[in-house]
Homo-oligomer: A and B are copies of this chain.
Amino acid sequence: MAHQNVITIGTGNIGVEFMAQVAEKDAPHLGRHPNPTNIVGMVNSNGWLYTPGGVAIQNSPSMVRDLQSQDRELVSQGRQRVAIKDWMRSQQEYMDGGNLLELFEEIRRQGLVDDVVFVDLTANDLTSFHQRVIDSGGKIVTANKIPVAQSSWDIFKLLTQFRRRYGFSCSVMAGAGAVPFLRDAFDTSDTVKSIEGCFSGTLGKLCNLLYEGEITFSEAVKQLKLGGDTEPDPRDDLSGMDVAKKIVILARTAGYHVDLKGVAIEPFVPDGFRELSNCSVDEFMARASIFDKEIAGKFESAKKQGKTLRYVASLKIEDDKPIVTLGLREENLDSPLGSLKGNGNKIVVYTSAYSQVPYELSAPGSGTHITAGNVRRDLLQLLQNREM
């Protein structure tokens, strides 16, 4: 039985859900899995816990689920999640105030770098930590986009060059398989000709609401925000920046040198959006109706031609150069992107091999449960002896 020793970074939604899934399905004591995931450490911004034998909590799924629901309850009251943090602190091996690098050096001293996978479930800029781990021969799985999307091209190549040491599938489409497809295409010299996709469940849902035409743009945004479908600041969705990061990751994975600053990003509402970038969230929400008419007009005009609008990210190769663009685009209702329902995400790829009929993949683009599950999927690829 080959263990996969894991140190989780981050105790937010995905971090705790990952922990709960391991406890329920993958923990060594269950004896259910020939390659169980043994969580030997947990890190958050306050300190860390490290137990080479495996943290006790993974032996009790009910305890993890209980801490998870306590945290959810706190968050719903607008308070800070502390249940899982308090549990960490209660452990003898807890290192208050210790940081990630310190834990890594401890593991290096013990000669265990080879035996551990760091799982980054944060949204912090941990690029230099990722570099440190990969430079030292270690392994990482990341659901965090920053180190792969916002780093330089050289750092991206450094991090991702070892297929069995760096897993970043979960940075796009919640881990549905777009990254592995493009990675393998690169490795088999199957040149990517174009990528097109919808990579924001929030903007997809917004488009579907606006197509129905019974609600204004500002009302729709308000409704999605109330339902928890947007970021706390909906401008983070509407700016297109999150989608831009995803298409940069995909283009880079396909072997194209692309940087975020070279991407032509058209926000969901291009005119006047940037002027509202510095006000408070409340002020933005109050003023969002200034876009209602423009947006309604676009959807009406598309509808008249039997089309709808989608927020599309695209990579095209022109004169051997990668061109990445993002913006609201008209799509036929029965086209691959136009037919998307709800908050579904989709990628359509043409390569040298997939030149007539493209490779198309659609799946939910977010969801704590799915992302955590696909982090566990990505871990499988890093397992030395992957047996059933």
User: A176 within 8 Å of B by Cβ?
Assistant: yes
A359-B176 contact given A163-B388, A387-B161, CB 8 Å threshold: yes
Known: A161-B388, A163-B387. A354 touches B339 (CB 8 A): no
Which residues 161-217 of A sit at the B interface, judged by CB distance below 8 A? 161-164, 176-177, 180-181, 184, 186-190
- Interchain nearest-CB distance for A157 vs B (Å): 8
Residues of B within 8 A of A190 (CB): 373
> Which single residue of chain B is at the shortest CB-CB distance from A340?
B357
Interface residues of A (CB under 8 A from B): 25-26, 32-33, 35, 160-164, 176-177, 180-181, 184, 186-190, 333-334, 339, 341-344, 353-354, 356-364, 369-370, 373-374, 376-377, 380, 385-388
Q: Are A25 and B387 in contact (CB under 8 A)?
A: no
**CB-contact partner of A364 in B176, B357, B361, under 8 A:** B357
Count the copies. 2
Measured in the bound complex, the distance between the Cα atoms of B353 and A175 in whole Å is 12
Q: Is the CB of B357 within 8 A of A187?
A: no
Chain B, Cβ-Cβ closest to A30: B189
Q: Which residue of the partner chain B has the closest CB to A379?
A: B188
Residues of B within 8 A of A160 (CB): 388
Query: Which B residue sits closest to A333, measured CB to CB?
Result: B334
A375 closest partner in B (C-beta): B188
- Does the CB pair B377–A354 fall under 8 Å? no
A176 (CB) vs chain B CBs: closest residue:
B359
Once bound together, how far apart are the Cα atoms of A359 and B173, in whole Å? 11
A380 touching B25 in the complex, CB below 8 Å, given contacts A160-B388, A161-B388: no
The smallest beta-carbon distance between A363 and chain B, in angstroms, is 5
CB distance from A347 to the nearest CB of B (A): 10
How far is the CB of A325 from the nearest CB of chain B, in Å? 24
Interchain residue pairs A-B with the least CB separation, the first 8:
A25-B189, A357-B364, A163-B386, A161-B388, A353-B373, A360-B362, A188-B376, A184-B377
- Kindly report which residue of chain B lies nearest to residue A387, judged by CB atoms: B162
Inter-chain CA distance A28–B382, complex, in Å, is: 25
A360: chain B residues within 8 A (beta carbon): 360-363
CA distance A343 to B373 in the complex (A): 33
Q: How far is the CB of A93 from chain B (nearest CB, A)?
A: 28
Contact across chains for A342 and B361 when beta carbons are under 8 A apart = no
Give every chain B residue within 8 A of A334 (Cβ-Cβ): 333-334, 339
Q: Which residues on the B side are within 8 Å of A358 (C-beta)?
A: 363
**What are 21 A-B contacts with C-beta separation under 8 Å?**
A26-B188, A33-B187, A35-B187, A162-B387, A163-B387, A164-B386, A164-B387, A177-B180, A184-B377, A187-B380, A187-B388, A188-B377, A353-B370, A353-B373, A353-B374, A354-B363, A354-B370, A356-B364, A359-B363, A360-B361, A361-B361
From B177, B342, B373, B386, give the contact of A188 (CB < 8 A): B373
A63 to chain B, nearest CB (A): 19
CB distance from A316 to the nearest CB of B (A): 20
Q: Which residues of B contact A353 (CB under 8 A)?
A: 369-370, 373-374
Chain B residues with CB under 8 A of A354: 363-364, 370
CB distance from A215 to the nearest CB of B (A): 22
CB contacts (< 8 Å) of A164 on chain B: these are 385-387
Output the least CB separation between A351 and chain B (Å). Answer: 9
Residues of B contacting A388 in the complex (Cβ-Cβ under 8 angstroms): 160-163, 186-187
